Amino acid sequence: MSPEIVVYSRPDCHLCAEAMAELRALQGELGFNLTERDIDRDEALQRAYFERIPVVALDGDELFEYFIDEALLRERLESRP
């Protein structure tokens, strides 16, 4: 099964747009599914992530806030069981 990456974001967030662009550029090479979740559409997500966006989660585990560490992402994807 392919790894699942979810980006918690909101519209008009430049850091969110940058994170999504970076992940889309890596997606073909690293082979993960990518989903973007708009926190403004869900009250619980908005409370959880309001000032921390973007938050990037891999298979449900939060990895990054604000910026992506590509080396760490590669390491985590390679070490998946």
Give me the domain span that covers residue 63. 4-78
E strands in 1-81: 4-9, 33-38, 55-58, 61-65
Whole-angstrom distance, CA of residue 22 vs CA of residue 25 = 5
CATH code of 21's domain: 3.40.30.10
Contact between 25 and 74 under an 8 Å Cβ cutoff? The reply is no
pTM of the model: 0.94
- How many domains in the chain? 1
pLDDT value, residue 65: 97
* pLDDT attached to residue 44: 96
Q: Does residue 27 contact residue 34 with C-beta atoms inside 8 Å?
A: yes
Six-digit token pair at 62? 């939060």
CA distance 7 to 14: 13
Tens-binned pLDDT, residue by residue, of the chain (81 aa)? 899 999 999 999 999 999 999 999 999 999 999 999 999 999 999 999 999 999 999 999 999 999 999 999 999 999 987
